[in-house]
Amino acid sequence: MTLPLITLLLTVALVTAVWRAVPALARPGLPFGVAVPPDRTDDPAIAQVRERFARTVIASGIGTAALALPAALLLDPEVVTAVAVVALVLSDTVAYALAGRRLRAAKTDGDWYAGAKQAVTADLGFRADPVRVPWLRAIPAALIFSATAAIGLARAGSLPATLPGLDGLTLDSGPRVPTGFLTAANPVLAQAAVAIAVPLLLAAILRSRPEVDAARPADSARRYRIYLRSLANLLLLAAACVNLTLLGIALRLWEIVPPAVAATALIFAPLAAAVAAAVVFEFRVGAGGHRLPAGPPEDTGLVQRDVDRHWHLGGFVYANRSDPAILVHQRAGGSQWTVNLGHPVGWGVAALVVVITVLAIGAAVLDGLGLVDLPSTRGL
């Protein structure tokens, strides 16, 4: 079996494994983005929905591989792999949303919130004494960016007329491209974006509304505070790891490091370490800190208010015009945030994404038809 076919199978297997694990990353009270009261987290209906979703995801993965393999033998394997991954992700997303819809129907039919006193609670301590961005931990990513820029400036005057295409296991199998600013400086520009965007995003996350459970207000606030501190350390570590990988890519692009599989493995080792740290974080801390050791029992007589009507697509999308929050903790999966599409800022973000997507697709189509000649920069 050739390498492109192996890559196709591994990619499909990875996407399938990730989607199979998504329900396990959610908080116990939010299976498939559906809020359930504490006494219903072990309801048989939830187990049935989980099993059905798992079977669907595995069947989709097997079916995608069975259809994509013959197509890859006849067509371009890279194109087939890209199409297969997009189709599989869309299929699994639909399956997740349908699972949430089935669970919501079961909750409604069983009247799970009957007799429960619903409420929301807030911890003003997050405003009076917020979790702050550990700015000193952002220094490594900035230093790596500065070092890369210095190396690039020193190398700029002696760059060859063309640069590697940065494809394949040695980052050297793609077609060479003409040397230009965007081509040569691409890794440095990406480093700058990471060094600036990650701390700013983290600052927004730390100032967003905390997830405090009305059933266990004190304990959930304590765990959420630990969660935010741990998340801040993880994101800034990931920024440094990403910039280290970009430094290696820059050295290869500028032909300071020769092409070799071992060198490529070393270049991507920091990125792999960041992914491993994220996995450990999800299974030790969990979204909102729900995997941390619980504190003393609390008897408030309340349950968190059911606001399912504002969540869509299995807990991935939030739209609530009466909620002033812009950034909210996503219900689906693990540690993710989403923009409130009911807020005017959310409308602007959504419009910007749509415009960028339409322009990118339109430019690609025009370039493919030969109507527009877009430069090939092999950009990151």
Q: Which two tokens stand for residue 43?
A: 């309801």
Same domain, 147 and 270: yes
Same domain, 141 and 281: yes
Which residues in the chain show pLDDT less than 70? 1, 168-169, 173, 363-380
The total of structural domains in the chain comes to: 2
> What's this model's pTM, rounded to 2 decimal places?
0.86
- In this prediction, residue 365 carries a pLDDT of 62
Q: Does residue 347 sit within a domain?
A: no
SS3 at position 13: helix
Helices within the chain (DSSP H only): 3-25, 44-74, 77-110, 125-128, 139-156, 181-184, 186-207, 217-253, 261-284, 344-368
Same domain, 273 and 170: yes
Of 261, 279, 305, the domain-final residue: 305
- In this prediction, residue 169 carries a pLDDT of 63
| d(C-alpha 340, C-alpha 336), whole Å | 13
Q: Which two tokens stand for residue 182?
A: 């965007």
- CB of 106 closer than 8 Å to CB of 36: no
For residue 166, with 0-12 CB atoms within 10 Å meaning exposed, 13-18 middle and 19 or more buried, which class applies?
Answer: buried
Q: DSSP letters of 43-104?
A: -HHHHHHHHHHHHHHHHHHHHHHHHHHHHHHHS-HHHHHHHHHHHHHHHHHHHHHHHHHHHH
- In this prediction, residue 241 carries a pLDDT of 96
What are the backbone angles phi and psi of residue 328, rounded to the nearest 5°? Answer: -130, 150
Task: Find, among 109, 107, 121, the residue nearest to 29 by Cα.
Answer: 107
- In this prediction, residue 326 carries a pLDDT of 86
- In this prediction, residue 374 carries a pLDDT of 47
Same domain, 105 and 149: no
Contacts of 149 (CB under 8 A, 6+ apart): 188, 191
Strand partners, 318: 311, 340
| d(C-alpha 316, C-alpha 24), whole Å | 15
Same domain, 107 and 242: no
Q: Does residue 163 sit within a domain?
A: yes
Q: Which two tokens stand for residue 50?
A: 């989980």
Of 113, 132, 156, the domain-final residue: 113
Of 113, 130, 150, the domain-final residue: 113
| d(C-alpha 140, C-alpha 375), whole Å | 33
Going from the C-alpha of 169 to that of each of 19, 81, 252, 262, the distances in angstroms are 26, 17, 12, 9
- In this prediction, residue 325 carries a pLDDT of 86
Expressed as residue numbers, the domain containing 58 is 1-113
